Structure 1
Amino acid sequence: MTGSRKSKSMTIVTLVLLLCSSFMFIPEKIHAREVSIPDISSHAAVLMEFSRGEIIFSKNGSEILHPASLTKIMTLALAYEALQKGRVTWEDEVLISQKAWETGGSQMFLEIGQVVPFGELVTGIATISANDACVAVGEHIYGSEALFVQEMNKKAGELGLKNTLFQNSSGLPHSQHYSSAEDLAVLSHYLISNFPEYLKLHSQTEFNFNDIKQYNRNPLLGRYSGADGLKTGHTSEAGHCLVGTASQKGLRFITVVMKASSSAERLKDSENMLNYAFRNFVLHRVLPGGEVLSIARVTGGEQRTIDLQLEQPLEIAIPFNRQEELQTRFNVPQSVPAPIVKGDPVGSVEVLLDDSVVAERPLISAGDVNKGGAFSLFFRSIGEVLAGLWQKIVKTISNLAG
């Protein structure tokens, strides 16, 4: 296989270069090749490859639009973050305020003074887009919805969402409440990357609270293979919106559709993008895990070198017709001081496409190297000096003979 031959050749080159000097490279910015996906009718649409967070298709992706309930992706991200950090627990009892009760739109039908577990509120937001639960969650974590919204905007800044501003936690219409398809793709990537365990909530198809059964409006669930999220939205200002995500054969993609004319159109466009992605991309194994890929020189150790390997196979999502264009580049220091423990990071390997780094993984030591004793290191140094002198003698004789 051509990819295997490239990997083996690069390993040989690396071994030779290690005897001479170290070599380090600076990762470059990833640029996606633009692609054209037919029959995308919605006003704005984005397709993102998940493993690298690379946007591979964008139609009006940076345009500022009303996000409607796609806002709740940020609300849930902050709720999951609070759970992860121990600021709140799933069992926390949340007292429902009048403001939460008064919030219109889709809801769990919470009552003033009712006590509801935090996890139940989060589930209601993820599955049935409960606006009243958004207010209750924000008040419980930060004391008021207004302070919660400040944190939403702070997180948006941290994530580099340049075309996003929130005014409430639910996505109810407001002239200064907006986002873009590309920003929402980045936000969705953040949520799935950091809180994958909660996708089970987003893929839940129904929710029962207070003996009222309601259903998840995400049309991809149960229809598109591997679909497990993420959020729908609709207001007259925003039109029909949908952030979808699906995973198949180790690949995951995120789709964003905004300002579609109908629920049927947002489904069609989401499916078209997912179909394009899964038909044109493949999960390519670049390098194996647990096999020797390179070596590093060791100073002050019982042995002179240490084998280097990857802990796990290095795999990358890539268009199926570009697999042969991938190249590998090994970054290994000129020498590493002993002691070394098995699993210690020693350099890295990069995968390049179009001269840009598309993946990087640490190389780890395949074994231990203990510190050498003073006696053995002394005689080794003498041997190295003598070997150097002998090489110079041989070179001199060779030059005289020539």
Structure 2
Amino acid sequence: MKKLISAALTASLLLSSTAGFAASASFTPPPPEIAGKAYFLYDFYSGRTIAQMNPDQRVSPASLTKLMTAYVVFKNIKAGRLKLDQTVLPSANAWKTGGSRMFVDPRTPVTINDLIHGMIIVSGNDACVALAETVGGSSEVFVQMMNREAANLGMRSTHFNNVDGLPDANHYTSVRDLATVSAALVRDFPEFYPLYSMKSFTYNHITQPNRNLLLYRDPSVDGMKTGYTDDAGYNLVASSHRDGRRVISVVVGTASPEARAVESSKLLNYGLQFFDTPRLYAANKPVSTVKVYKGSSDSVGIGFQHDIYSTVPKGTASQIKVQMTTTQPLIAPVKAGQAVGKLTLTLDGKTIAEQPVVALKAVDEGGFFSRLFDTIRLWFA
């Protein structure tokens, strides 16, 4: 059985959280025209897609591949299987890798930390191969790890066949999937994300710039990655953090380094200028209580395990309508984090978000007599 919690209660909670967004609705134009093969604009905090074109079309990622290469490397560091100060001797295979390079020397040990800088800041293909061989034993095994992580993240239109993004007919992705891995990097590895804002890196007495032109033009842009091959065109994933919001854009298949920067800037500014992303509910704060039967406590606070945001056209946050349902009867034992209901947000009659509502604390089974009493009560409920 589903029970509808008072609309007045949930609405008052929402309005108290969005008082600063109660201005009258402003004009929301359509997305700008983007000169590329495909694009995707994503709000990091709400998880909402703001604008898209050909989101699931198969595209060549070029060096945007290195977003997943980095994700797998960071995961191994976090698990303790790799250390930043660990040194490795690059193989001849890494040294011979073509395309952009950080210029490793097969006779000179290099730290994992330097390889990561070389991969992210100057897009070194040699760094990618050296890291892959260290983590996976070979690039081929590392690619299997990349595809496994892609599946875990829900990247349904992606298949990797190398670690650096050099052209390969069986190496492809989509702009939606690129937004997914980009957001995962920011969310799962915030300690490494600042590397994506670094403007240059020096190794082997060679200083190379970061090719993301927006880092030099827009102080709110703090990442993420460029890519180019003849087949892919000029690609860019960019992230802007401004006024408490983070918006991620993916643009692929543009005609030049300047074009990918200009088109990405248009998308980022569109998302930030014409939309708001208010926080509606705070993590681990009860929004209501529900009755618990046969438990050591007769009620439990319910809410969310993470902050709840919603991206809406600027000035419309106060018009969001809230409906919360809970599953009844709720019978102990109840685990902390157990889903006990659903929050539905609507705007102009359309559902804009749904989130599970969870028990914020555990409730153990009650004693024999309290369970017996509640069993009798449920007969007449």
Q: TM-score range by the shorter chain?
A: 0.7 to 0.9
Cα distance between partner residues in 2 of 1:335 and 1:148: 46
SS at match of 2:127: helix
Pairwise mapping of residues 243-262 of structure 1 onto structure 2 (< 5 A)?
243-262=237-256
Aligned-residue offset at 1:126 = 0.9
Deviation at 1:116, TM superposition (A): 1.0
Taking the aligned partners of 1:167 and 1:303, their CA distance within structure 2 comes to 54
Report matched runs for 1:24-39 at 5 Å.
Answer: 36-39=30-33
Query: Any residues of structure 2 matched to 1:113-124 within 5 Å, and which?
Result: 113-124=107-118
Check whether the contact 1:139–1:148 (CA below 8 A) recurs between aligned residues: yes
Q: How does 1:334-345 map to 2 (within 5 A)?
A: 334-337=329-332
After superposition, the Cα gap between the structure-2 partners of 1:250 and 1:358, relative to the gap in structure 1 and judged at 3 Å, is farther
Inter-CA distance 346–75: structure 2 relative to 1 (3 Å threshold): closer
Q: Is the deviation greater in 87-96 or in 151-160?
A: 151-160
CA deviation vs aligned residue, 1:164-207 (integer Å, no higher than 9, x gap): 33332111223333222222222222322222221111111121
Output the CA distance in 2 between the equivalents of 1:159 and 1:50: 15
Instruction: Give runs of aligned pairs for residues 304-383 of structure 1, distance below 5 A.
Output: 304-308=298-302, 314-323=308-317, 324-337=319-332, 347-353=340-346, 354-355=350-351, 357-365=353-361
Q: Which runs of 5+ in 1 are unaligned?
A: 13-33, 389-402
**Residue in 1 aligned with 2:3?**
none
Cα gap change, 1:180/1:9 in structure 2, threshold over 3 Å: closer, same or farther? closer
Q: Relative contact order (C-alpha < 8 Å, sep 6+): which is higher?
A: 2
Aligned-CA RMSD value: 3.4
Equivalent residue number for residue 297 of structure 1:
291
The residue type paired with residue 340 of structure 2 is G
In 2, the alpha carbon distance for the partners of 1:288 and 1:231 equals: 31
Alpha-carbon distance, 1:148 to partner: 1.6
Conservation of the 8 A alpha-carbon contact between 2:300 and 2:359:
no
* 1:209 to partner: Cα distance: 1.4
Cα shift at 1:306: 4.6
Distance 2:285 2:156 in 1: 43
Q: Which amino acid aligns with 1:69?
A: S
Q: Distance in 2 between matches of 1:344 and 1:150?
A: 33
Q: Give the match for residue 19 of structure 2.
A: none
Alpha-carbon distance in 1 for matches of 2:339, 2:134: 45
Contact between 1:61 and 1:180, CA under 8 Å: does it hold in 2?
Answer: yes
3-state secondary structure, aligned to 1:196:
coil
Q: In the TM superposition, what is the alpha-carbon distance from 1:310 to its structure 2 partner?
A: 5.5
- Separation of aligned partners in 1, 2:44 and 2:304: 22
Pick which of 216-225 and 265-274 moved more: 216-225
Which is greater in Rg? 1
Shift of 1:235: 2.0
Range with greater deviation from structure 2 (328-337 or 117-126): 328-337
Distance of 2:305 and 2:144 partners within structure 1: 41
Whole-Å separation in 2 of the counterparts to 1:260 and 1:310: 41
In the TM superposition, what whole-angstrom CA distance separates every residue of 1:318-365 from its partner, at most 9, and x where no partner exists? Answer: 333542133231325424548x89x77673451323246433342425
**How far is 1:212 from its partner?**
1.9
Of 281-290 and 125-134, more deviation after overlay is shown by 281-290
**In the alignment, residue 234 of structure 1 is paired with which amino acid?**
Y
Aligned residues: 355
Q: For 1:220-235, list aligned pairs within 5 A.
A: 220-235=214-229
Query: Is the 1:11–1:293 Cα contact (8 Å) retained in structure 2?
Result: no
Residue 236 (1) aligns with residue 230 (2)? yes
Q: 1:306 to 1:49 in 2, by over 3 A?
A: closer
Matches within 5 A, 1:101-250: 101-250=95-244
Distance, in Å, in 2 between the alignment partners of 1:345 and 1:331 is: 12
The percent of aligned pairs where both chains have the same amino acid is: 31
Cα separation, partners in 2 of 1:151 and 1:288, compared to 1, 3 Å: closer
Aligned AA (1:214):
Q
Match of 1:197, SS? coil
In structure 2, how many angstroms separate the alpha carbons of the residues matched to 1:64 and 1:268? 23
Displacement of 1:303 in angstroms is: 6.2
Structure 2, unaligned runs of 5 or more: 1-5, 14-27
- Does structure 1 residue 77 correspond to structure 2 residue 78? no
Alpha-carbon offset, residue 87 of structure 1: 2.0
Q: 2:85 touches 2:113 (CA, 8 Å); kept in 1?
A: yes
